[in-house]
Amino acid sequence: MDFRLDPDVAAMKETVRDFIANEVEPKAMQIEQEDRVPDDILEKSKRIGLFGISIPEEYGGMGLNMVGKSAVFEELGKTINGYTTILGAHNGIGSVGIVELGNDEQRSRYLPKMSSGEWIGAFALTEPQAGSNAAAIQTTAVKQGDRYILNGQKIYCTNAPIANVFTVMAVTDKSQGSKGITSFIVEKTFPGFHVGSVEKKMGLHGSQTAQLYFDNLEVPEENVLGTVGMGYVNALKILANGRAGLAARCLGSSEYLLDMSIRYAHERKQFGKPIFEQQVIQHYLADMAVEVETLRSLLYRVAWMMDEGMPTIKEAAMLKLYASEVYNRVADKAVQIHGGVGYIAEYPIERFYRDARITRIYEGTSEIQKNIIASRLGK
């Protein structure tokens, strides 16, 4: 067993660390307040390649395996989550469908533009009546000649206002239930495609989530992603693939909060000494550190299993569940250690606390992860 990172990946992490420190962190408060990532940050992110994390080298991406991707995402997790969610959704659920399931034509049409960031990706599964029960989607896709006509509504689509390419799930054969769903690659310029208003959220400011409306949306037949009728399975695959990236971002954020808390505990004096000298604070920090270390081990093991092509449905669910729960517990303790400062918006702690909350909900709630895990126990 060798837990050392490949030197290339270590160098990438270092570049990402410098980039975040110099370009993103100084504007984190601005992003939070304006709920928008400035264009120059997105442009610079594109230039250094942060939109090609999941894309193979032949299409201009970084060609990283899951361990390498996780290492880069871990570093990205250390800054404002709204910014990293743009990258996470694009490099994760927004592009892995085309990478993993696309045919050669689809890959060469979309991936070069996506790896450069010229085209941003998004994923549209959730509907008003279909959240955890994703197989209950109602958006229809009816074949007419050489195209499909889509009608329906999607909600909570991350990156929708800035995305050009959407992986969309729609029902092609209602009688087949979950086996009657098909995935499509939809461009925002296709006739009948509309983006609705942007949601106001508790956190993840800077990342935009919006509704989509399909009004006789015309999708050419060659834009069917994978096989007709396999859309539900595809969606689960895409989500499972994205779990390591999401977990890595949770890990990075947890590490950041632990570091901030250690520093603060040494600096803050009450009753004539640093609060670090109170055993209860030491124990909080020890608990946080153990959870962060455990998450790191689980993340890189599951990422390695994925790279080895081993079945990981149960392990990926465990990882997503554990990563988001650890992040939330660490964020809660970080607020506690910071006292009032942890609750004041002038400091980053309360922002991470709010941002942490979504990780237990999106890309499959904690409850749904437990269902997946339990259904595979003893098998």
Q: Which residues, at least 6 apart from 311, have a Cβ–Cβ distance to it below 8 Å?
A: none
User: Of ligand FAD, other proteins, none, which one does residue 15 interact with (CB within 5 to 8 Å by kind)?
Assistant: other proteins
Footprint of ligand FAD (CB under 6 A): 89, 123-126, 131-132, 156-158, 201, 204, 209, 358, 361-365, 367-368, 371
DSSP-based helix, strand, coil % in the chain, nearest 5: 55, 15, 25
What is the Cα–Cα distance from 322 to 152, expressed in whole angstroms?
34
What's the closest the beta carbon of residue 50 comes to other proteins, in angstroms? 7
What is the Cα–Cα distance from 372 to 239, expressed in whole angstroms?
13
**Which residue, 112 or 131, has its beta carbon nearer to other proteins?**
112
What is the Cα–Cα distance from 284 to 84, expressed in whole angstroms?
27
Closest CA to 165 of 94, 252, 222: 94
Cβ pair 215, 192 in contact under 8 A: yes
User: Of ligand FAD, other proteins, none, which one does residue 63 interact with (CB within 5 to 8 Å by kind)?
Assistant: other proteins
What is the Cα–Cα distance from 342 to 336, expressed in whole angstroms?
7
Footprint of other proteins (CB under 8 A): 7-8, 11-12, 15-16, 18-19, 44, 47-50, 52-53, 57, 60-63, 72
**Which residue, 32 or 75, has its beta carbon nearer to other proteins?**
75
User: Of other proteins, ligand FAD, none, which one does residue 53 interact with (CB within 5 to 8 Å by kind)?
Assistant: other proteins
**Which residue, 114 or 260, has its beta carbon nearer to ligand FAD?**
114
Catalytic residue among 118, 308, 363, 367: 363
User: Of other proteins, ligand FAD, none, which one does residue 11 interact with (CB within 5 to 8 Å by kind)?
Assistant: other proteins
Whether 199 is catalytic is no
Question: Which two three-digit tokens encode residue 366?
Answer: 């904690």
What is the Cα–Cα distance from 81 to 84, expressed in whole angstroms?
5
What is the Cα–Cα distance from 270 to 15, expressed in whole angstroms?
38
3-class DSSP assignment, residue 319: helix
Q: Give the residue nearest to ligand FAD (CB).
A: 131
Whole-angstrom Cα Rg for the chain: 21
User: Of ligand FAD, other proteins, none, which one does residue 262 interact with (CB within 5 to 8 Å by kind)?
Assistant: none
**Which residue, 81 or 312, has its beta carbon nearer to ligand FAD?**
81
What's the closest the beta carbon of residue 288 comes to ligand FAD, in angstroms? 25
What's the closest the beta carbon of residue 116 comes to other proteins, in angstroms? 10
Question: Which two three-digit tokens encode residue 135?
Answer: 């197989």
User: Of other proteins, ligand FAD, none, which one does residue 60 interact with (CB within 5 to 8 Å by kind)?
Assistant: other proteins
What's the closest the beta carbon of residue 152 comes to ligand FAD, in angstroms? 13
What's the closest the beta carbon of residue 45 comes to other proteins, in angstroms? 10
DSSP 261: H
Closest CA to 181 of 171, 190, 191, 189: 171
Cβ pair 60, 53 in contact under 8 A: no
**Which residue, 208 or 261, has its beta carbon nearer to ligand FAD?**
208
DSSP 208: -
**Which residue, 221 or 367, has its beta carbon nearer to ligand FAD?**
367
What is the Cα–Cα distance from 368 to 134, expressed in whole angstroms?
11
What's the closest the beta carbon of residue 338 comes to other proteins, in angstroms? 25
Active site members = 363
